[in-house]
């Protein structure tokens, strides 16, 4: 029995050291110089140097002076990274239909003069429930509200959206997108 348990325990300890300590340290040592802040979670700072969030996880903005991101499927707290996952509601599910209707009504109530069609990404959650991006159309839909709430020229806000619109990855993959947190930080920086 001793001949079986001792090698098993030795192998367990050895593999724990290799996979639990050595490998993570090695990958961190290699990745950190190559990818810099991305290796540390893409943390964004405000003007005072205070961490305000990650560029990789959506934030829950509700102030009319800020652009709003996609609805979060995480609950009970929006954009909760520990509860990542979709709502798993199908297109025929009455709960999804009711949620979308409620979100449409909230957008219309926040900007009653806006007659543009509401982009789908402003009323539906992403697969992870944590998407930090919205489409350029979703950002442009909000320009008038944000400009009015901040007392800014809508053209200046629209230009800021254009500056923060990211293209397709490698020119091929995905769709153009706007990171809501970086856009709102730029807006806040302009205000100061």
**Could you report the per-residue pLDDT of 73-114, keeping only the tens digit for each?**
776 666 666 667 777 778 888 988 998 999 999 999 999 999
| Mean pLDDT of the residues in the chain | 87
Cα three-residue angle 37-132-109, rounded to 5 degrees? 150
Query: In the chain, count of helices (H) and strands (E)?
Result: 6, 5
Is residue 157 a contact partner of residue 190, using CB atoms and an 8 Å limit? no
Q: Give me 183's structure tokens.
A: 């856009």
**Three state DSSP letters for 13-43:** HHHHHHHHHHHHHHHHHHHHHHHHHHHHCCE
Report how far residue 35's alpha carbon sits from residue 41's, in angstroms, rounded to the nearest whole number: 10
pTM of this prediction exceeds 0.85: no
pLDDT tens digits, 14-54: 999 999 999 999 988 888 888 776 666 777 777 777 887 88
Domain limits, the chain: 1-40, 42-191
**Distance from the Cα of residue 176 to its chain's centroid:** 14
């Amino acid at each position: 029995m001793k001949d079986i348990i001792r090698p098993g325990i030795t192998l367990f300890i050895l593999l724990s050291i290799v996979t639990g300590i050595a490998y993570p340290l090695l990958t961190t040592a290699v990745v950190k110089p190559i990818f810099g802040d991305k290796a540390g979670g893409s943390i964004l700072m405000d003007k005072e140097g205070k961490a305000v969030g990650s560029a990789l996880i959506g934030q829950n903005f509700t102030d009319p002076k800020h652009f709003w991101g996609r609805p979060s499927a995480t609950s009970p707290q929006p954009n909760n990274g520990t509860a990542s996952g979709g709502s798993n509601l199908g297109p025929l599910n009455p709960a999804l239909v009711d949620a979308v209707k409620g979100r449409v009504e909230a957008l219309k109530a926040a900007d009653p003069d806006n007659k543009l069609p509401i982009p789908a990404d402003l009323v539906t959650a992403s697969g992870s429930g944590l998407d930090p991006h919205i489409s350029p159309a979703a950002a442009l839909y909000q320009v008038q509200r944000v400009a009015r709430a901040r007392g800014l020229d809508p053209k200046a806000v629209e230009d800021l959206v254009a500056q923060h619109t990211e293209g397709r990855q490698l020119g091929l993959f995905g769709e153009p997108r706007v990171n809501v947190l970086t856009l709102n930080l730029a807006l806040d920086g302009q205000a100061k």
